[in-house]
C-alpha cells in the first residue's frame, strides 16, 4: 500500500487529484423516505421497530432515565471526566467570544435599525454511534446550543446492543446541559426530531454528523420544514508543508484523518521534493503501529501527495479544493494563510495538529466537507441563533425618509406600500 505521489501535475490535472470519494445519496433516497414516512405516521411504534431492525435492540422507554444517567456517569474514569471538563471550558470560551452585541444604527435621522441574536428555541443534536463513543460531538454541539440560549436541547444517539448509551456520552451530555437523550440512531432518529413523536419533541433545527443514511435523511427533512446545520460528506484534510516541516508530524496528521473512515481523504501539498520523497516511507512506518490498519489503507487509496512547482500554486490548490481541515506546516503559517479563502478550519504551525480542534482547543469540529466550505461555515454560535432585525422610526424620521419610500414604492407599482407611508405623513402634517 503506497500513497499516490503526483509530481508537478499540470493545472488541468488538478481536478483529477482533487476528486473526492463519491457518496451516492440518491440510491438511498427511497429507503430513507420510507423510514421517514413511517416515523411521521406511526411515531414511537415505528421508532421501536427500526431500533430493533437496525440497532438490534428491543426498547421499552426511548428516553434515557435518570438512573441510567447516574449509572453511566459513575462508570467514567475521573481522568477522562477532567479532560472533558477542560475541553468544555475551551469550547465555551471560544464560542462565547463569538457573541455579538446589539448595535443600534441611526441610518437616517430618526430611523433606528438593529439586529438581535435570539437562540433557536428547540434544537436536536445527533451523535453517531458505531465503533467508538463520539462524546466529543456532544461537546461541539451542546456547548454552543446552551450559550446561544436554546430553550430545549434534545439528543439522539444509537444504543449499544444492551440498549445502553456509552458512559462518556452521558457524562458529556450532563456537563453540557442537554435536556433529554433518546436512544435512537440513523434515519429514524432524524425523522423523530423532524416530525416529533409521542416521546420525542419536534425541533426546529437538527445538527450533527452521521453515515450516509443519516445525511440523506437530514437532506430530505431539510426540504420539509426543518433546518439542518449543513450538508455533509466524508471527512478530509489538506496539509501544506514547507521544507522545515517534520515528516513524522506530517504522516501522523495524514493518518489521523485516514482513521476517520474508509472514505476519508488526506492530501499533502508541498513544493519541497525532499518532503515528498520521504513521506511515503514514513506513512508505512507509522501505519504498522495503528490498530485500524485495514480501514486506514482504504482511505489511503484515495489520498495523495502532490509536489507543486510554484509557491503560489499552494494557495490556489487549497482554495480550489476548499478542504474541511487545512493544516499549515510552515514557519510563516499565519501570514501564508491570509491567502486562504476556502476552508473549514485552519491549523497553523508545526505544533497545531487537527486533533487539537477535533477535541479540545475550543474551535468546533463540525465543519463543511466535500467543497461546501466554499459556501458554508462550520458550526458556530450563529448556527444556533437567528438574528431578528428591528427598526423604530419617529414621526420626524418618517418625515425624512418617507418621500424616498413613496418614490420607490410608486416605481415598483406597489400603491398600498406607498399609502402606508402617505397616510402617516398626512396624519403628522395635519
- Tell me the CB-side half-sphere exposure of residue 177, using CA atoms within 13 A: 13
Sheet holding 122-126, edge to edge: 180-183, 152-157, 122-126, 205-207, 227-228
State which of residues 134, 143, 178, 283 lies at the interface with its own copies (CB under 8 A): 134
**Taking CB under 8 A as the criterion, which residues in 37-66 touch its own copies?**
none
423 binds its own copies (CB under 8 A): yes
Q: Which is nearer to its own copies, 3 or 120 (CB)?
A: 120
Size, binding site for its own copies by CB under 8 A? 130
Q: How far apart are CA 257 and CA 49, in angstroms?
A: 35
Which residues, in sequence order, are CB contacts of 357 under 8 Å at separation 6+? 325, 345, 347, 363, 364, 365
**Taking CB under 8 A as the criterion, which residues in 319-348 touch its own copies?**
333-334, 337, 340-348
- Nearest distance, CB of residue 92 and its own copies, angstroms: 9
Question: Of 387, 359, 356, nearest to 172 (Cα)?
Answer: 359
**Listed ranges 38-46, 189-197, 220-228, 300-308: which one lies at the site for its own copies (CB under 8 A):** 220-228
State which of residues 38, 188, 256, 270 lies at the interface with its own copies (CB under 8 A): 256
According to the annotation, is 211 in a ligand binding site?
yes
97 binds its own copies (CB under 8 A): yes
**Taking CB under 8 A as the criterion, which residues in 401-420 touch its own copies?**
401, 403-405, 407-409, 411-420
- Nearest distance, CB of residue 60 and its own copies, angstroms: 29
**Taking CB under 8 A as the criterion, which residues in 145-204 touch its own copies?**
168, 204
16 binds its own copies (CB under 8 A): no
Q: How many helices (H) and strands (E) does the chain have?
A: 17, 14
Bridge-based pairing state of the strands 205-207 and 122-126: parallel
**Cα angle for residues 66, 72, 73 (degrees, 5° grid):** 90
324 is catalytic: yes
Which residues, in sequence order, are CB contacts of 218 under 8 Å at separation 6+? 190, 206, 210, 228, 231, 232
**Taking CB under 8 A as the criterion, which residues in 287-316 touch its own copies?**
289-292, 296
Spot the catalytic one: 95, 302, 325, 329. Answer: 325
Location of C-alpha cell 466524508: 234
**Listed ranges 52-60, 66-74, 99-107, 269-277: which one lies at the site for its own copies (CB under 8 A):** 99-107
Q: Where are the beta strands (DSSP E) in 222-377?
A: 227-228, 236-241, 265-270, 304-307, 325-329, 345-348
Are residues 236 and 342 in contact, defined by beta-carbon separation less than 8 angstroms? no
According to the annotation, is 188 in a ligand binding site?
yes
Q: How far apart are CA 119 and CA 109, in angstroms?
A: 31
- Nearest distance, CB of residue 356 and its own copies, angstroms: 6
Using CA of residue 29, residue 34, residue 38, residue 40, what is the dihedral sign?
Answer: positive
- Nearest distance, CB of residue 136 and its own copies, angstroms: 6
**Listed ranges 5-13, 41-49, 270-278, 284-292: which one lies at the site for its own copies (CB under 8 A):** 284-292
Q: Which is nearer to its own copies, 119 or 191 (CB)?
A: 119
According to the annotation, is 126 in a ligand binding site?
yes
Are residues 375 and 343 in contact, defined by beta-carbon separation less than 8 angstroms? no
According to the annotation, is 365 in a ligand binding site?
no
According to the annotation, is 86 in a ligand binding site?
no
Q: How far apart are CA 261 and CA 236, in angstroms?
A: 10
- Nearest distance, CB of residue 58 and its own copies, angstroms: 27
Spot the catalytic one: 51, 175, 282, 324. Answer: 324
354 binds its own copies (CB under 8 A): yes
Binding site per annotation, positions for NAD(+): 126, 188, 211
Q: Could you give the residue numbers annotated as active site? A: 324-325
Amino acid at each position: 500500500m503506497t500513497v499516490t505521489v503526483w509530481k508537478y501535475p499540470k493545472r488541468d490535472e488538478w481536478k483529477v487529484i482533487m476528486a473526492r470519494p463519491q457518496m451516492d445519496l440518491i440510491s438511498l433516497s427511497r429507503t430513507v423516505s420510507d423510514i421517514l414516512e413511517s416515523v411521521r405516521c406511526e411515531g414511537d411504534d415505528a421508532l421501536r421497530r427500526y431500533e430493533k431492525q437496525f440497532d438490534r435492540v428491543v426498547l421499552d422507554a426511548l428516553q434515557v432515565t435518570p438512573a441510567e444517567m447516574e449509572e453511566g456517569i459513575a462508570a467514567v474514569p475521573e481522568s477522562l471526566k477532567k479532560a472533558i471538563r477542560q475541553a468544555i471550558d475551551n469550547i465555551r470560551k471560544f464560542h462565547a467570544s463569538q457573541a455579538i452585541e446589539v448595535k443600534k444604527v441611526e441610518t437616517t435621522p430618526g430611523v433606528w435599525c438593529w439586529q438581535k441574536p435570539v437562540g433557536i428555541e428547540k434544537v436536536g443534536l445527533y451523535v453517531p454511534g458505531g465503533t467508538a463513543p463520539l462524546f466529543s460531538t456532544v461537546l461541539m454541539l451542546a456547548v454552543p446550543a446552551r450559550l446561544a440560549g436554546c430553550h430545549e436541547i434534545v439528543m439522539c444517539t444509537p444504543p449499544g446492543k444492551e440498549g445502553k448509551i456509552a458512559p462518556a456520552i452521558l457524562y458529556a451530555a450532563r456537563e453540557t446541559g442537554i435536556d433529554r437523550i433518546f436512544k435512537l440512531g440513523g434515519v429514524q432518529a432524524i425523522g423523530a426530531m423532524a416530525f416529533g413523536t409521542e416521546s420525542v419533541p419536534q425541533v426546529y433545527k437538527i445538527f450533527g454528523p452521521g453515515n450516509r443514511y443519516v445525511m440523506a435523511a437530514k437532506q430530505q427533512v431539510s426540504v420539509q420544514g426543518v433546518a439542518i446545520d449543513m450538508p455533509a460528506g466524508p471527512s478530509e484534510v489538506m496539509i501544506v508543508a514547507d521544507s522545515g516541516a517534520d515528516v513524522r508530524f506530517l504522516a501522523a496528521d495524514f493518518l489521523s484523518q485516514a482513521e476517520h473512515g474508509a472514505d476519508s481523504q488526506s492530501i499533502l501539498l508541498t513544493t519541497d521534493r525532499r518532503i515528498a520523497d520521504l513521506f511515503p516511507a514514513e506513512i508505512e512506518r507509522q501505519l504498522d503501529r495503528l490498530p485500524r490498519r485495514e480501514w486506514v489503507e482504504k482511505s489511503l487509496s484515495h489520498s495523495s501527495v502532490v509536489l507543486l512547482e510554484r509557491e503560489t500554486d499552494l494557495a490556489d490548490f487549497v482554495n480550489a479544493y476548499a478542504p474541511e481541515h487545512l493544516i499549515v506546516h510552515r514557519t510563516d503559517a499565519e501570514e501564508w494563510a491570509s491567502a486562504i479563502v476556502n476552508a473549514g478550519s485552519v491549523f497553523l504551525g508545526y505544533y497545531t495538529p487537527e486533533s487539537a480542534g477535533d477535541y479540545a482547543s475550543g474551535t468546533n469540529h463540525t465543519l463543511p466537507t466535500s467543497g461546501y466550505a466554499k459556501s458554508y461555515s462550520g458550526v458556530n454560535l450563529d448556527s444556533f441563533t437567528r438574528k431578528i432585525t428591528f427598526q423604530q422610526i419617529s414621526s420626524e424620521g418618517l418625515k425624512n425618509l418617507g418621500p424616498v419610500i413613496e418614490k420607490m414604492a410608486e416605481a415598483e407599482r406597489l400603491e398600498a406600500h406607498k399609502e402606508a407611508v402617505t397616510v402617516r405623513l398626512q396624519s403628522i402634517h395635519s
